Amino acid sequence: MTTRVVGPFKQAWRKGVIPWLKLSWDREPVLVAAVGFGVAGLPLWVISPWKHQNAIDVADMPTRYPVPIRYVEGKTGPPTSL
């Protein structure tokens, strides 16, 4: 019979999630942190109060702006910026 060699990650996973995370953190901390931030971002986005508070309604945005009055000698008053 041959013995089957099991990798360190599979051994750690069989022991539980915490040993697997410790081994992963020791080997690749950047990947574990990136996945952790990505996974934590989804539920935080759903429960965030600022998402609903700062939402801008398109109907509230102005679409027509006043045209500035240009100085025309004899028709309008003198410019105020001079």
Q: What are the pLDDT digits (tens) for 60-78?
A: 677 777 777 777 776 766 6
pTM confidence score? 0.48
- Cα distance between residue 26 and residue 53, in whole Å: 40
Q: Which domain holds residue 32?
A: 8-50
Of 21-30, 39-48, 55-64, give the range with the top mean pLDDT: 21-30
Total domain count for the chain? Answer: 1
Query: Could you tell me if residue 69 is inside a domain?
Result: no
Give the number of residues written for the chain: 82
Measure the CA dihedral 43/49/53/56, to 10°: -10
Query: Could you tell me if residue 32 is inside a domain?
Result: yes
Provide mean pLDDT across the span 1-24: 84
- Cα distance between residue 25 and residue 10, in whole Å: 15
Query: Could you tell me if residue 26 is inside a domain?
Result: yes
